[in-house]
Structure 1
Amino acid sequence: MTAVESHPVLTAVPVAAPAPDADVVIEPAADSSSAKAAWRETLSAYVALTKPRIIELLIVTTIPVMFLAAHGVPSLWRVLAVTVGGYLSAGSANALNCWVDRDIDAEMRRTRRRPLPRHRVTAQQTVVFGLALGVISTLWFGFLVNWLSSGLALAANVFYVVGYSMILKRRTTQNIVWGGAAGCFPTLIGWTAVTNHLAWPPVVLFLVVFLWTPPHFWALAMRYREDYAAANVPMLPVVATERHVAWQIVLYTWATVGCSLALWPIAHTGLVYAIGAILLGAVFIAEAHRLHWSARKGVTGTALRPMRLFHFSNTYLALLFVCAAIDPLIHH
């Protein structure tokens, strides 16, 4: 809002070979159908490089902040501009991440069906595509939103690709803790898109996402621990016991909920946000403790059901930001 071959699109379209026999007639419809299928497959591969499902979550943390910043309904044109620009920027970071991780993606069950491991695109095509999206998104934000939002989007892109993907991910168990900061920038971008300046409310929401990221991702990494181990990526669940990871999840979950409640006095939100943050936080904390209690009892592997916490963490963040968007519509 988060790297050499031939032309990225033209080479994907097969060229019909000359007929070996003059009596053989090549059906134009078949060629046309084959070409269309190839174009669709190529387009699908490029869309997959942007990781649309991840971008959905980034948009969920951007648009509600625009409502909060506007103390009501922001300009619909600006919302559209930020949504498109955010998709382009995050898509750029995700595509370049696919290039950086192409070797380990091929080793992991969760990622081996991505375009690069399946050879649906080349490394060079991925880099060109990712950089092109990055340039377009920077200019898009600059000319259609403002240059502060443009700079923040570019900073998030660079930090995700260089800071997380290239430096932190394969070197430290704290990779997702610090690298996850790249996914927090949409809160700042949504606010500055409306106000063209920073303030404490988006910083609080930045910290909410920052603290939420470790329990969210560590739950996923517990489920795919063998994948990360095979790829030699030192995610915390690979190098620590499940009980320790679960305890860290509990600590970060409490910190997330506590930080979310700080928005109430700082942004002068009303009861809609306060009640929503309390109820959602209570469930999130209960899920984290459930995981920890199971780990303490010696439950291991899939029996721990870490994906239950992972899926609820998505729901928690989405609904929390929805509350932040609805609150000014009622409170003001």
Structure 2
Amino acid sequence: MTSVGQQASALSQPEPEPTRATLRDVVAAYVGLTKPRVIELLLLTTVPVMFFAAGGVPELGLVVATVVGGTLSAGSASALNCVYDRDIDEQMRRTRRRALPRHIVSARAALVFGLALGVISTVVLAVWVNWLSAALALAANAFYVLVYTMVLKRRTTQNIVWGGLAGCFPALIGWTAVTGSLSWVPVVLFAVVFFWTPPHTWALALRYREDYANVDVPMLPVVAPAAEVARRIVIYSWVMVATSLLLWPVADTGLFYPVAALVLGAVFLVEAHRMWRRARGTEDLSKIQPMRLFHASNLYLSLLFVAVALSPLVPL
């Protein structure tokens, strides 16, 4: 397992000189540091909540400011994560094509870039949205970098369970951007994302478990057999679906949302149980097919939050 001394020196290790690259390569590298696909998912849990909080279509300027601020905040956290994890990213198939392992951007430049995005995002949200949303985005950023990346990720199999809290904040930010306050409604949606994160991430980690094992990151699929990973995915999936249905009585949504949540949840549970059944008695990933569940989880969350957005617009 990686020692504490190795982790502490992750930011101080000497950096090779960045390789020569075209302007296009450099721009693409900086964009890559922000992990655009992660940002897409985060925004997908922000904007629909704004529609729900507004009871319809929110003010366009507010949506733009929230999206810009949220994008910069998430990009900041991702860039800082890339700086700290550059030592293991170089050794993993899934991440070795990132900007820092390829030395297109130096660690110092990426650090400055990440910090600058964090400052700008806080200013944007504080000035054009509100201070509560700005504080929540800053808290999510700090939690992801300081708690998940620097403390949990390399030390515990529960890393993604608790580290995933950072990815739940966009639901709170979307709500507070419109209302200026918190309530139980965004807390329920926060919890949905919290219970969604382990099935989503463990399915991906199962696919790349050898990568994580090679760099001593104790993701659950590294330390537990595939059947146990799948069993826990099923448990979290049931809790996730049950939590999603809580929004109906808590927010008095009408019938459209609970029907959509029930159908989407049933489909996801079927896929989770199928993976569990495939995982029993084999460690062959070609038979377990964890990426099926990973892609299903993305589709589930996307459609569930679309249902959240449409709920106040559909007369049921």
**Residue identity (%):** 63
Whichever residue aligns with residue 37 of structure 2, its letter is R
Q: 2:114 aligns with which of 122, 125, 130?
A: 130
CA distance in 2 between counterparts of 1:321 and 1:302 reads 31
Per the normalisation by structure 1, the TM-score is: 0.89
Q: 1:158 aligns with which of 139, 142, 155?
A: 142
Q: Deviation per CA, 1:130-180, whole angstroms, max 9, x where unpaired? A: 000000000110001000000000000000000100000000000000000
Contact 1:13–1:39, Cα closer than 8 Å, also in 2? no
Name the structure 1 match of 2:152: 168
Name the structure 2 match of 1:248: 232
Contact 2:53–2:175, Cα closer than 8 Å, also in 1? yes
| SS of residue in 2 equivalent to 1:245 | helix
User: By how many angstroms is 1:300 displaced?
Assistant: 2.5
CA distance in 1 between counterparts of 2:312 and 2:283 reads 44
CA distance in 1 between counterparts of 2:143 and 2:37 reads 20
Q: 1:290 aligns with which of 259, 270, 274?
A: 274
Q: 1:73 aligns with which of 50, 57, 60?
A: 57
User: By how many angstroms is 1:331 displaced?
Assistant: 3.9
Whichever residue aligns with residue 74 of structure 1, its letter is P
User: By how many angstroms is 1:296 displaced?
Assistant: 1.7
Name the structure 2 match of 1:270: 254
Contact 2:225–2:283, Cα closer than 8 Å, also in 1? no
- 2:312 is the counterpart of 1:328: yes
| SS of residue in 2 equivalent to 1:329 | coil
User: By how many angstroms is 1:299 displaced?
Assistant: 5.5
Per the normalisation by structure 2, the TM-score is: 0.93
CA distance in 2 between counterparts of 1:156 and 1:271 reads 32
- 2:249 is the counterpart of 1:261: no
Q: Deviation per CA, 1:79-133, whole angstroms, max 9, x where unpaired? A: 1111111110000000000001000000100000000000000010010000000
- 2:100 is the counterpart of 1:107: no
- CA RMSD in angstroms comes to 1.6
User: Number of matched residues?
Assistant: 303
Change (3 A) 1:233 1:271: same
Change (3 A) 1:299 1:125: closer
Equivalence map 1:1-332=2 (5 Å)? 3=11, 38-298=22-282, 300-331=284-315
User: By how many angstroms is 1:40 displaced?
Assistant: 1.5
CA distance in 2 between counterparts of 1:39 and 1:136 reads 23
Q: Which runs of 5+ in 1 are unaligned?
A: 6-10, 15-36
Q: Deviation per CA, 1:178-220, whole angstroms, max 9, x where unpaired? A: 0000000000000000000000010000000000000000000
CA distance in 1 between counterparts of 2:284 and 2:121 reads 44
Q: Which runs of 5+ in 2 are unaligned?
A: 1-10
User: By how many angstroms is 1:231 displaced?
Assistant: 0.9
Change (3 A) 1:168 1:4: closer
